[in-house]
């Protein structure tokens, strides 16, 4: 199991995170190819070498240019072309001083962008969780539902690239677990769309609830909203303990700090047992990836069962990888329901809170599990009914299996007044014709 340890002695921002993974060896061409799936034009990636306190590091940034810079490609069968970015308005995330900013966008628009993009499933899920967490935090600060939040600089193209780029880097290195050191929050004030605000920005501090932080450590803003959102959604606090380091990368920030090198250090490694016994040697089979997950369970027998589907939806919205309901017999012969959630370790406490809030249970059990996962990718195939996304997995013997996305098939079936089975079959045929 690959582990990434974010040693954030100078804080963290989105561009520093991507820069550190590029320094670790993430191929720039692979990153650019992955970001092309967003369907946004008028951008380029700038990568340069910087030296901070004698340490060579990678500086990553996004440059915008051209008449349609930062515009979204609507994509999909119902699209009519490029959608102009919205003008700054409403409520949203605070200023990220690192990077080049562009238009401001509602959370729902970014969510739709990520849903359309042909990203690897886990990278897409991670990016969605980052922006969903940011929308929830901003909504709480400004008294708005998440879907009514409009991001300011964190909704600009450079921040979107930072978040999606981080997710793509984690996928490239096969990172299953992310840990982060205590974060220095800095001090002072920043000027934002809402006026002058204290450091850390309110959304930043809201996102870092439950993480060890050091207030007043540093003379400026050291943790940006984008950096805090990445940490809150994908990492858990703590040090990795025993680890076999495989590579170390440094991402450079923009400013020169007087009291420390403005760097984010990322250590990529694995547990000693995993290093001694790779998955293939342990009988996992070729191509299989080991993942450590957590299972959360609760038995419910004293709530209206009509409310359980709402709890399931809330858990998926909060980042659960899978949620199941099973009938069980409780004490005194009462019928009940076993609610089981599978999640990444970093999501355990947050999802347990959702279970306690959305159901009548007064306790949640959890335990770690290991699973073997087939390599998978998401493709978009063209059918007589429009574009359909297809998940393609590679079996241990090298053969492939395709599964069209249900929601895409349902939408196309309704639009063409045809049975969903016909759309599903056409998508499978197209996937086989493309070599899946």
CA distances from 393 to 118, 120, 196, 402 (A): 15, 11, 50, 7
The secondary structure of the chain in percent helix, strand, coil, rounded to multiples of 5, reads 35, 30, 35
Does residue 279 belong to any structural domain of this protein? no
Does residue 11 belong to any structural domain of this protein? yes
The CATH number assigned to the domain holding 367 equals 3.30.70.1380
Does residue 284 belong to any structural domain of this protein? no
Residues 62, 181 share a domain:
yes
Give the structural domain span for 302: 289-373
Q: Quick one: pLDDT at residue 86?
A: 30
Quick one: which of 77, 278, 94 has its CA closest to 203?
Answer: 94
Residues 397, 353 share a domain:
no
Does residue 175 belong to any structural domain of this protein? yes
In 286-364, beta strands by DSSP E: 289-300, 322-329, 335-343
Does residue 219 belong to any structural domain of this protein? yes
Residues 429, 348 share a domain:
no
What parts of the chain have a pLDDT lower than 70? 1, 65-104, 152-155, 192-195, 273-288, 434-436
CB within 8 Å of 75: residues ≥ 6 apart: 39, 116, 117, 387
Residues 104, 229 share a domain:
yes
pLDDT tens-digit readout, 26-77: 999 999 999 999 988 778 899 999 999 999 999 999 987 655 555 555 443 3
Domain boundary, last residue among 238, 272, 306: 272
Residues 385, 321 share a domain:
no
Length of the chain: 436
Q: How far apart are CA 131 and CA 85, in angstroms?
A: 17
Q: How far apart are CA 169 and CA 341, in angstroms?
A: 26
Residues 330, 399 share a domain:
no
CA distances from 133 to 88, 123, 200, 209, 213 (A): 21, 15, 17, 12, 19
Residues 369, 381 share a domain:
no
pLDDT tens-digit readout, 65-92: 655 555 555 443 333 222 333 322 222 3
Domain boundary, last residue among 272, 299, 319: 272
Q: Quick one: pLDDT at residue 6?
A: 97
Does residue 127 belong to any structural domain of this protein? yes
Residues 402, 351 share a domain:
no
- CA dihedral (407, 84, 165, 196) in degrees, to 10, reads -120
CB 252 within 8 A of CB 263: yes
pLDDT tens-digit readout, 383-400: 999 989 898 888 888 788
pLDDT tens-digit readout, 203-224: 899 999 889 999 999 888 999 9
Does residue 277 belong to any structural domain of this protein? no
Number of domains in the chain: 3
Residues 196, 57 share a domain:
yes
Residues 416, 293 share a domain:
no
Does residue 304 belong to any structural domain of this protein? yes
Residues 191, 310 share a domain:
no
Quick one: which of 317, 316, 198 has its CA closest to 325?
Answer: 316
Residues 168, 60 share a domain:
yes
pTM higher than 0.75, yes or no? no
Q: Quick one: pLDDT at residue 287?
A: 60
Domain boundary, last residue among 344, 373, 402: 373
């Amino acid at each position: 199991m690959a582990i990434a340890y974010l040693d954030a002695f100078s804080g963290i921002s989105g561009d520093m995170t991507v820069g550190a993974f590029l320094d670790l060896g993430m191929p720039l061409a692979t990153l650019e190819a992955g970001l092309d799936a967003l369907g946004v034009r008028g951008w380029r990636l700038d990568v340069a070498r910087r030296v901070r306190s004698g340490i060579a590091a990678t500086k990553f940034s996004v440059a915008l240019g051209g008449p349609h810079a930062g515009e979204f490609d609507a994509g999909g069968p119902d699209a009519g072309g490029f959608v102009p970015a919205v003008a700054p308005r409403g409520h949203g995330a605070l200023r990220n001083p690192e990077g080049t900013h562009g238009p401001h966008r509602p959370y729902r628009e970014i969510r739709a962008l990520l849903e359309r993009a042909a990203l690897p499933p886990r990278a897409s899920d991670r990016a969605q969780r980052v922006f969903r967490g940011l929308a929830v935090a901003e909504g709480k600060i400004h008294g708005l539902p998440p879907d009514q939040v409009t991001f300011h600089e964190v909704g600009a193209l450079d921040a979107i690239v930072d978040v999606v780029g981080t997710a793509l880097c984690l996928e490239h290195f096969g990172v299953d677990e992310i840990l982060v050191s205590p974060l220095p929050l800095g001090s002072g004030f920043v000027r934002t769309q809402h006026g002058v605000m204290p450091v850390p920005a309110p959304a930043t501090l809201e996102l870092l609830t439950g993480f060890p932080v050091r207030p007043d450590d540093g003379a400026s803003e050291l943790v940006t909203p984008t950096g805090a959102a990445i940490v809150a959604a994908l990492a858990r606090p703590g040090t990795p303990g025993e680890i076999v380091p495989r590579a170390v990368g440094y991402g450079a920030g923009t400013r020169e700090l007087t009291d420390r090198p403005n760097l984010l250090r990322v250590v990529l490694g694995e547990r000693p047992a995993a290093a001694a016994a790779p998955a293939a040697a342990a009988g996992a089979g070729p191509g299989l990836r080991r993942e450590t997950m957590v299972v959360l369970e609760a038995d419910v027998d004293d709530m209206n069962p009509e409310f359980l589907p709402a709890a399931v939806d809330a858990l998926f919205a909060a980042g659960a990888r899978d949620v199941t309901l099973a009938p069980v017999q409780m004490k005194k012969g009462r019928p009940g329901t076993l609610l089981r959630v599978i999640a990444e370790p970093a999501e355990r406490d947050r999802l347990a809170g959702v279970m306690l809030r959305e159901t009548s249970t007064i306790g949640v059990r959890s335990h770690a599990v290991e699973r073997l996962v087939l390599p998978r990718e998401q493709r978009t195939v063209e059918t007589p009914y429009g574009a359909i996304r297809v998940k393609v997995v590679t079996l241990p013997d090298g053969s492939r299996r395709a599964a069209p996305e249900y929601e895409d098939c349902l939408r196309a079936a309704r639009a063409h007044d045809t049975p969903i089975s016909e759309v599903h079959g056409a998508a499978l045929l197209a996937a086989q014709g493309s070599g899946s």
